Amino acid sequence: MKNQKLFFKVTTNRNIYYATSLKTAERFCKKNDFVIINYWNAFPTLAEKKSAKKCGRGVYCILDNN
């Protein structure tokens, strides 16, 4: 999980996504029919880096198991 700078959430699920840029996040959402509801410039913590799964080019997902 390198160079992840943008943290975002989508309307269809409660997962947390990290992307390298807003443009990358927008492409990922367009491809998967997601809509971004919130995004912030934030760096993932060490625990988040360990639990993240790659789900697209430059995009990682942390699943919400609740």
pLDDT for 65 equals 76
Would you give the distance in Å from CA 16 to the centre of its chain?
A: 5
| Full-model pTM | 0.88
Q: Which pLDDT score is estimated for 66? A: 58
Domain ranges across the chain:
6-62
What integer pLDDT is reported at residue 64 of this predicted model?
Answer: 87
Residues of the chain with pLDDT under 70: 66
